Amino acid sequence: AQSVSQHNHHVILSEAASLELGCNYSYGGTVNLFWYVQYPGQHLQLLLKYFSGDPLVKGIKGFEAEFIKSKFSFNLRKPSVQWSDTAEYFCAVKVSFQKLVFGTGTRLLVSP
Amino acid sequence: EAGVAQSPRYKIIEKRQSVAFWCNPISGHATLYWYQQILGQGPKLLIQFQNNGVVDDSQLPKDRFSAERLKGVDSTLKIQPAKLEDSAVYLCASSLDLFSGSYNEQFFGPGTRLTVL
């Protein structure tokens, strides 16, 4: 069955620290991967996506993610976090008919 | 551009009562999704519509949940009767067209937070 694992449920960082959030997927078809973000009090929104080509994908607000097929991973990174990055981050994989399967999410708290 | 609208934002009911949620997608979006997000979990797709037809309802508990999109625009999701484990945020999302040949981004609404006592 398709699944997405996010092993870090809560992450606390200081401003300017580097961020890496883990995401591993289990899916046998063509892999399309996503990171969504939900800022406090706001809607879920797309941060970045991977469909094909360059496995290093750049998204909004300085985020990037690297697709490593051999490790079934799609980790999210940011070199230097800001207080405004405090949010919940969800990794997702697209399965049939544009259906998304989400991970359990990682709550990031950035202290100023 | 107006986003996905949902109402109510919050609802508290007692178990065995019924409840309905409403969603108005972004104008022109043919595909509409209802997700259930239980606290501490990621969103789980309940049902997916393309215009007024159901594409996927494999994870919808059909003994108590129902959804419709009669005119292919707005949609309602109903729970009858509600159970304690139905406490969750119910998210609606929409995208341009499921069958356009390319992936269309899903845009999410603010959600309805349901508490069943």
B14-71 pLDDT, tens digit per residue, is: 999 999 999 999 999 999 999 999 998 999 999 999 999 999 999 999 999 999 998 9
Mean pLDDT of A28-41: 90
Instruction: Give the chain A residue nearest B96 (alpha carbons).
Output: A98
Interface test with A, best of B108, B112, B113 (most A CBs within 10 A): B108
Distance from CA of B105 to the nearest CA of A (A): 8
Its domain, for residue A88, covers 3-111
Find the CB nearest B42 among A96, A99, A103. Answer: A103
**Residue B98 sits at the chain A interface (C-beta within 8 Å):** yes
**Residue A90 sits at the chain B interface (C-beta within 8 Å):** yes
pLDDT for res B105: 87
Look over chain A and give the mean of its residue pLDDT values, rounded to a whole number.
93
Look over chain B and give the mean of its residue pLDDT values, rounded to a whole number.
94
CA distance B111 to B36: 9
> Predicted confidence band at A95 (pLDDT cuts at 50, 70, 90)?
confident
Interface test with B, best of A36, A44, A51, A101 (most B CBs within 10 A): A44
**Residue B110 sits at the chain A interface (C-beta within 8 Å):** yes
Q: What tokens were used for A53?
A: 């080509």
CA A34 to chain centre: 6
> Predicted confidence band at A38 (pLDDT cuts at 50, 70, 90)?
very high
What's the CATH number where A90 sits?
Answer: 2.60.40.10
Whether residue A52 has pLDDT greater than 90: no
> Predicted confidence band at B98 (pLDDT cuts at 50, 70, 90)?
confident
Q: What tokens were used for A59?
A: 């998204």
CB contact under 8 A, A104 and B41: yes
Q: Please, are residues B75 and B22 in contact by the beta-carbon 8 Å criterion? A: yes
pLDDT for res B99: 76
Q: Please, are residues B24 and B16 in contact by the beta-carbon 8 Å criterion? A: no
Pairing verdict, β B5-7 and A106-111 = unpaired
**What percentage of chain B has pLDDT greater than the value 90?**
86
Q: Please, are residues B105 and B36 in contact by the beta-carbon 8 Å criterion? A: no
Distance from CA of A98 to the nearest CA of B (A): 7
CB contact under 8 A, A98 and B4: no
Distance from CA of A81 to the nearest CA of B (A): 23
Q: Which residues, including other chains, have CB under 8 Å from residue B115's CB and lie 6 or more apart? A: B10, B11, B12, B13, B87
> Predicted confidence band at A99 (pLDDT cuts at 50, 70, 90)?
confident
Tell the CATH topology of B16-98.
Immunoglobulin-like (2.60.40)
Which of left, alpha, beta for A69 (phi over 0: left; psi -120 to 50: alpha)? alpha
pLDDT for res B1: 62
Find the CB nearest B45 among A44, A100, A104. Answer: A100
A97: phi then psi, degrees, rounded to nearest 5: 45, 45
pLDDT for res B115: 98
* Number of domains within chain A: 1
pLDDT for res A68: 94
Mean pLDDT of A60-84: 95
